[in-house]
Chain A
Amino acid sequence: MRLRAARDDERGATLLLVIGFIVIVALMSSAVLGLLLTGTKSRVALDQARNREYSADGAVEHAIADVRANMQTHPFTPCPSAHIPYAKGALPNGQVDMQVDCTYDPWHTLSGFLQRNVVFVACAQQGGPQCGPGIISARVNFQSDDSAVATSITVSKTFIQTWSVNE
Chain B
Amino acid sequence: MRAIRRTGAGETGTERGESLIEVIISMVVIGVVASAWFVTYSYETTGSTLNKHIAQSDTVLRSYAEATKTAVRNTCTPTNGGTPFTAQYTAPSGFNPPTTNDPTCPSSTTVVKKITLTVTFDGTQSRALQIDVRTP
Contacts and interface: CB of A to CB of B under 8 A. Distances in A.
A150 interface: no
B105 interface: no
A38 to B, nearest CB: 10
B47 A36 contact: yes
A156 B130 CA distance: 27
B133 interface: yes
Contacts of B25: 14-15
A69 B112 CA distance: 12
B3 interface: no
A29 B111 contact: no
B58 A61 contact: no
Interface in A35-57: 35-36, 39-40, 43, 46-47, 50-51, 54, 57
A6 B79 CA distance: 98
Contacts of A93: 129-130
A68 interface: yes
Give the interface size bracket for B toward A: 35 or more
Interface in B36-52: 36-37, 40-41, 44, 47-48, 51
B91 interface: no
A127 to B, nearest CB: 24
Contacts of A51: 129
Interface in A46-83: 46-47, 50-51, 54, 57-58, 61-62, 64-66, 68-69
Interface residues of A, number: 42
A165 to B, nearest CB: 11
A57 B114 CA distance: 12
Interface of B: 11, 15, 18, 22-23, 25-26, 29-30, 33-34, 36-37, 40-41, 44, 47-48, 51, 54-55, 58, 61-62, 65, 78, 109-112, 114, 129-134, 136
21 contacts: A7-B15, A11-B18, A14-B23, A15-B26, A28-B37, A29-B41, A33-B40, A39-B48, A50-B58, A54-B130, A58-B114, A58-B130, A58-B132, A61-B132, A61-B133, A66-B110, A92-B130, A92-B131, A93-B130, A157-B78, A158-B136
Interface of A: 4, 7, 11, 14-15, 17-18, 21-22, 25, 28-29, 32-33, 35-36, 39-40, 43, 46-47, 50-51, 54, 57-58, 61-62, 64-66, 68-69, 91-94, 155-159
The 5 closest A-B pairs by CB, nearest first: A92-B130, A58-B132, A61-B132, A69-B110, A14-B22
Given A4-B11, A21-B33, A62-B112, 18 more contacts: A14-B26, A15-B25, A22-B33, A25-B34, A25-B36, A29-B36, A33-B40, A33-B44, A39-B48, A43-B55, A54-B129, A57-B132, A58-B114, A64-B134, A65-B111, A66-B110, A92-B131, A156-B78
